[in-house]
A and B are shown apart, each in its own frame.
Chain A
Amino acid sequence: MNYLLLFPVLFPVIYGVVSLRFKNMDRRKRKLFFLPALCLNSTVVFVLAFLDLEPLDLAVFANHIRLSLFLDGPARLFSCMVAVLWIPATIYAFSYMEHEREHLSKDAGWVNSFFAFYIMTYGVTVGLAYSANPLTMYIFFEALSLVTFPLVIHIRDHKSIKAARKYLKYMLGGAAFGFISLICVLIAQEGEYFAFGGIIDVNAFPRNLLLFTFVCGFCGFGVKTALFPFGSWLISASVAVTPVTALLHAVAVVKGGAFVLIRLTYYGYGTDYLKGSWAHYVCLFLVCATILYGSTMAVRETHLKRRLAYSTMANLSYVLLGVCSMSGLGLCAALLHMVYHAFMKINSFFCVGVVMQREGRSFVDECNGIGKRLPWVMAFFTVSGLALTGIPPFIGFISKWTIASALVETANPAFYAAVGVFMYSAFCTAIYMLSLATRAWFPPKANTVVYLEARKPDFEMWGPLAFFTLVIIILSFTSTPLVNALMALAAG
C-alpha cells in the first residue's frame, strides 16, 4: 500500500519526460494532455494526505543510508499546498504561454517543453515534501534545482541565459554547503526517519563542529530561500516567464528551501540542541538582514516583477524567522506563513503578469489608472496586497501575528529586535504593495498612453486569480481549523 507514495513523485516526472516527445500539440490538445494528469496527481496527493501510511524504503545502502519516503504533518501540508496551487497555475500558464509564444514567435514545441518541465517539477516538489530522511531530501533538493533550470532559461534570450547560469551557480554552490551539513547528519543520525525534536546523536561530534555544520546547512539550503548574501539569483531569475516566477520562485522552489530548513532545524538537529547557541543567533541575524534588505529594496525597485521578487525574499525570511524562534509556536507560524504567503504572492504575481503581458506595462509608474482597464485583476491584486501587508482580517495578519507571538514568547531581547524588524518590513510592504494599488485606482494624472493593443484576459487567466482571491478571503474568515491543526502538529 505504501508504494502509493511513489506515484505522485514518479508519475509527473515520467509523464513530463514522455510529453517531451509530443512537439506539435496545439493549445486544445495540450490542455487535454496535461490537465487530467495534473488533476489525477493532485487527487492522489489529497487522498494520500488522509491515509496513514508506513514509511517506504526505496533502497537501503547501509544501515542509515537509505532512500525513503513518508508522510507526516509538514509533508502533508506542503504536498497539499503544492497540489492546490499547481492546477490553477497551470491553467493560467496555458493562456499566458500561448500569448508569449505568439509574442516571441516561437513554435508549439517551445510551449510543450515548458509544460513538460513544469509538470516534472511538480513531481520533484512532492518528492521533496515526502522525503523521510536527510539523504532523500538532499537528492530531491538537487533535483529541484536541476529540473527548474530549463524553465528559467526557457525564453533563451541573452538575459535569461545569464540569469539561468547565475541560478545554477547559486543553487549548486548552496547545495555544496548543504552537503556538509548532510554528511554530518548522516553520520550522527540516530533514527531512520525525520522525527520532531531531532534525530542526531548530539555526542557524535564536538558541539561547535555540529553547530558549524548547522550554519553551513542553513546558509547552503538557505540559498534557495534567498537568504541575504545569497539571494540575488531570485531577482535575476525574475526574467523568466510569469508562471515560473509565480509558482516556482514564489512558492514551490523557494518554499522547498524553507521546508528543508524546517526539516533540518526541527526534525534534524532538534531545537533543544540549537536554542540559544551561537549558531542560532547567526541564523537569526542573517534572517533579519534578509528581511531588512528585501523590504527596503522592494520599495526602491520599480520593475513590477522584481519588486515582488524582493518582497518574496523578505517574506521567505518571515518563514525563517518563525523557524528561528525554535519553538512549537514558531514551527506553527512558519508553516502557516509558508502556506498563506504562497496564496498571496502567487496571486500578486499572476495579476502583475496580466498587467505586464496584456497591457505591456512593466514599471510601477506606467501603471497609472490600470484599475480602470483591468478592474477585476486589480481588485484581486489589491486584496492580496492588503493581505500581504497584514491588514486584518486578511490572512497575512494571522500568520504575521503568530510569527510575532512566537518571537515574543522566547522572551529574549534579540527577538524583540526581530519584532522591530518585522514591523519595519510590514510598513515597507504597505508602501510597495499599496502604492501600486493606489496608482492603479487613483491615477496621479490621466495616463492616455496605450502600450499595447491590449487584449482582455480570458477566463483561463482571471479564473485562477479569482480562485486564489477566494481562497484568501475564505482562509481569512475561517483559518482557525488550520491554525489548530498546525498547533497540534507543533506540539509534537
Chain B
Amino acid sequence: MNNKVSILISVFAPFLAAFVSYFAGKKHEKFRDIFVPAFTIFELGFIALTLNVALTDGENPVIANSLFVDVPFCMFGIRFRIDGFRFIYTELAVFMWAMCSLASKRYFLHHKNTNRYYFFWLVTLGATIGVFLSADLVTAFLFFEIMSFASYVFVAQEETKEALRAAETYLAIAVIGGLVALMGIFLIYSSLHMLDLNMIAWHADPVASLYSSIRIVTDGMRTKVYIGGALILVGFGAKAGVFPLHIWLPKAHPVAPAPASAVLSGMLTKAGVYGVIFVCCKIYAGLVPAGIVMMILAMITMVVGAVLALFSVDLKRTLACSSVSQIGFILTGISMVILTPKESLAMGGAFLHMVNHSLFKLVLFLCAGVVMQNLHKLNLNEIRGFGRKKPYLMVCFLMGAVGLGGIPGFSGYLSKTMIHEAIVEGVEHFGFLKAVEIIFLVSGGITVAYMTKLFVALFIEKNVSNEVYMRETDIDYITPAGRVAIGLPAVMILVFGILPHVFYDKLATAALPFFSRYVRELHHVHFFNLENLKGAGISLVVGAALYFGVVRTLLMKNENGVKVYVDRWPKKLDLEDAVYRPLLDLLSKVFGTIFMFLSDVLPRFVYNISNIFLSVLARVFGEGTDLITLALRKTLYKENPTEHRYIGTVETTKLGRAANAVERFLNRTVRKKHPKNVDHVVAYAEELELTRRKMHMLESSLSFGILMFCIGFCITMIYLLLR
C-alpha cells in the first residue's frame, strides 16, 4: 500500500470508527466495548506496519495530500507529512488511546452517556493524529480545533457542577487560544503566502532564506512572522498548559474520567507542545530575546505547577499540577534549543521528556482511575491506604512515580539529565543559566516530594475506616485488561531507563530533523557518570528535605490523633477566580455600558434635546410671526382713523339729506325730549363702502366660486334634464 493512502487511512479511520461505535453502541454495548480497544490496537499496528519508513527515511519525508487531491478541502486543502518525530508521536498517541481504551470498560461500568464518550474519544484520537501528522499550519489548526472541541466532552462528561465549570474554563481557553493561534497563522500567511511548516521555517531563518528562490524575505515580513509566531505560541501554549494559561489543567483533569485525564494530560498537552516546538525551534531558532522570554515562562510554569502539586490533597489534581510542572521541564529544553540552536542535547532532552511524560501520566492516571472506580473518591485522606496489599498496582504506580521523580535507572532520569546537561553546557554562553540550573534541580526536588507524598498516602499509610480495604465481591479491583493497560507502560519506563542507548538514543535521533535542519547526530551522553548522577542526587536530597520538612509537618495536622493532609493553599490565590473571570466580567460590563450608552441613552438624550430645541424654535417662529405682524400694525401699517372719510355717491348723499330732513322733522315733533343727531349722509356712505367691501370679499372667495359653479352646474343639469 502506498504511504499516502496509509496516512489518510490512519487519520480518517478513527473518525469513521467513531460513527461505527456510536451507532453500534446504541444497541449493542458489548460490541462497542470490544470494538473500541480492538480498533485502537488495530490502528497502532497499522501505523507501525505501514508508516515505519519514517524512521529509516527521515531525510525524505513522504508528503500525502488530502483525500480530495484535486478538490481542495475547506479552501486550502490538507497536507500531511511523516517523519521520525511525527511517526513516534503518532504511535505514542495511539498507544495511549489503546491502553486507556483497555482500561475504560471497567471504569465506565456504572456510568451514563458512555456512548457519547466513546464517540468523542475516537474523534479526538483522529484529530490528535491529524495534528501530529500535519504538514502545514492550517491542517494543524483544523485538527487542533477538532481536538479541542471534541475533548470538551471529556471534561463535561460527568455533568456535575464542578465538571461543567471546568469545562467552561476549558472551552474558553480553547476558543481564545484557537482564535489567537488563527490570528498568528493568518499573519504568517499574509506575509509569506505559505503555510507549509518546513517552508515557513526555511523562510524565517535569516540565513537559509537568502537561498530561497520563491520569495525574498524582507525584515518587515520577518517581523510579521515573529509576531505571528508569538500568537501561535499563545494558542498552542494554552493547550500545553504554559503559565499563565495553565488554569484549565488543574480544573479539568480531576473532573474528567480517568482514561480521559490520561490522554488530556499525556497527549493533548503534547499537541500543544507540537505547536510550541514549531514556533520555537523553527521560527525563533537563535533568537536570544525569544529564548529568554520562553525560559522565564518555562521556569514559572515549572515552579508554579510543582508547588501547586505539592499543596494539593487530591490525587488527580496533584497529577494535573504535576503535568503543568513537567510541561515546564519540556519548555526548558525547548528554550535551550532557541538559545543554542545547533546543540542536539536540548532537542533530544525535550523530545524524550515529552515521551516520558506521556508514559508516566498514562500509568499514573490509570492508577488514579483504579482508585476512582473502586472508591469514587480522590481526596488523599479518604483514599489513603487503598493500595495496601495490592502489589501489582503498587509496583506500577511506583514505576510512574520514580520515573517522574527522575530516579536513575528509570526513563525520566535520562531526559532530565539531557536537559540538565544542555543547561550546564549553555552556561558558558549565557550566565543566567546558572540560576536556571538551580531552579531546574529544585523543581526536580519538588517533583520527588509530591510523588513521595502520593505514594506514601496511597500505599503505606493506613486508613482509619475499613471501607477502603473492602472489595466488591463479584468484581476484582482491576480487570486483566486494566492490568495490561497499566503494566505495559510501566515496564516500558523501566526498560527504557535501564537501556538508554538501545531505545532512547534511536528515538531521539529519529526525532532530531523535526527540531532543526542542521542537526542530525545526537550528542552522546554518559548517563551514569558521577557528574550526571550528582544532579539527580541533588534533586533527591531536596525532595527528601521538602517531604520531611514541609509535607509531613506544614501540610499535615493532627486530628483526633491521626495525621491528616490539609489543603494549605489559600483559596483566594486562584488565577482564574481572582483575575480572569473578574476581568471578563469587567470587560463585558464596560463594553456593555458603553454600548448601552451609545445605542440607548445617547440617542434618547439627543432626541429629547433636539425635541426641546426644535419646539422652542418653532414656538419662537410661530409666535414671532404674530409678534411681528402686531408690531408692524402698530407702527408702519398703523391705520389713521381721523383721515378716513367715506365718500358716498350722489344717491347716498341725496338719500342722506332726505333722511336728515326727516330726522330734523322728527326731532322737532315726536322726539322732542330725546332728539337724535346722526349725519345720515356720512352713515349711508359708510354703509355703502362696507357693503362693497363685503361683496368684493365674497366674490373673490373660493366658496363663492364653487357656489357659482354649483349653481351653474345645477342650472345646466336642470336644463339638460328638462330639455
The judgment on whether A and B are partners is yes
A3→B74 CA distance, assembly (Å): 39
Main SS class of interface, B:
helix
Q: Chain A 79-107, CB within 8 Å of chain B: the 1/0 string? A: 00000000000000000000000000000
Q: Which B137-159 residues sit within 8 Å CB-CB of chain A?
A: 138, 141-142, 145, 149, 152, 156, 159
The number of residue pairs between A and B whose CB atoms lie closer than 8 Å in the complex comes to: 89
Point out which of A293, A297, A392, A431 has the most chain B C-beta atoms below 10 A from its C-beta: A392
A100→B316 CA distance, assembly (Å): 52
| Known A-B contacts A293-B598, A438-B167; A393 and B161 likewise in contact (beta carbons under 8 Å) | no
A384 to chain B, nearest CB (A): 14
Could you tell me if B186 and A479 are in contact, using CB atoms closer than 8 angstroms? no
Partner of B74, one of A397, A404, A419: A397
A299→B190 CA distance, assembly (Å): 30
A471 partner residues in chain B, CB cutoff 8 A: none
Partner of B159, one of A386, A431, A442: A442
A418→B536 CA distance, assembly (Å): 53
Could you tell me if B595 and A398 are in contact, using CB atoms closer than 8 angstroms? no
Q: Which B165-205 residues sit within 8 Å CB-CB of chain A?
A: 167-168, 171, 175-176, 178-180, 182-183, 186-187, 189-190
B228 to chain A, nearest CB (A): 11
A482 to chain B, nearest CB (A): 10
Partner of B175, one of A232, A392, A408, A427: A427
B598 partner residues in chain A, CB cutoff 8 A: 229, 293
Partner of B138, one of A293, A300, A392, A441: A392
Could you tell me if A404 and B186 are in contact, using CB atoms closer than 8 angstroms? yes
B128 to chain A, nearest CB (A): 16
Partner of A476, one of B74, B171, B176, B183: B74
Could you tell me if B588 and A444 are in contact, using CB atoms closer than 8 angstroms? no
Could you tell me if B595 and A293 are in contact, using CB atoms closer than 8 angstroms? yes
Q: Chain A 258-280, CB within 8 Å of chain B: the 1/0 string? A: 00000000000000000000000
A480→B138 CA distance, assembly (Å): 16
Point out which of B72, B74, B179, B183 has the most chain A C-beta atoms below 10 A from its C-beta: B74
B709: Cβ under 8 A from any A Cβ: no
Could you tell me if B159 and A443 are in contact, using CB atoms closer than 8 angstroms? yes
| Known A-B contacts A392-B145, A438-B171; A300 and B71 likewise in contact (beta carbons under 8 Å) | no
A229 partner residues in chain B, CB cutoff 8 A: 598-599, 603
B68 partner residues in chain A, CB cutoff 8 A: 477-478
A299→B175 CA distance, assembly (Å): 15
Partner of A444, one of B141, B161, B182: B161
| Known A-B contacts A434-B175, A442-B164, A479-B74; A296 and B592 likewise in contact (beta carbons under 8 Å) | yes
A293→B180 CA distance, assembly (Å): 21
Complex: chain A residue closest to B142, CB-CB: A392
Q: Chain B 573-600, CB within 8 Å of chain A: the 1/0 string? A: 0000000000000001001100100110
Could you tell me if A300 and B599 are in contact, using CB atoms closer than 8 angstroms? no
Sample of 29 A–B contacts (CB below 8 Å): A232-B599, A297-B592, A297-B595, A299-B588, A389-B175, A390-B182, A391-B145, A392-B138, A392-B141, A392-B145, A397-B74, A397-B75, A398-B75, A401-B75, A401-B186, A408-B186, A419-B186, A427-B176, A427-B179, A431-B175, A438-B167, A441-B156, A442-B159, A442-B167, A444-B164, A445-B161, A477-B73, A477-B74, A478-B68
A residues adjacent to B (C-beta < 8 A): 228-229, 232, 292-293, 296-297, 299-300, 386, 389-393, 397-398, 401, 404-405, 408-409, 419, 423, 426-427, 430-431, 434, 438, 441-445, 476-480, 483
- 9 more A-B residue pairs beyond the given contacts A229-B603, A397-B75, with a C-beta to C-beta distance below 8 A: A391-B145, A401-B186, A408-B186, A434-B171, A438-B171, A444-B161, A478-B71, A480-B72, A480-B75
B residues adjacent to A (C-beta < 8 A): 68, 71-75, 138, 141-142, 145, 149, 152, 156, 159, 161, 164, 167-168, 171, 175-176, 178-180, 182-183, 186-187, 189-190, 588, 591-592, 595, 598-599, 603
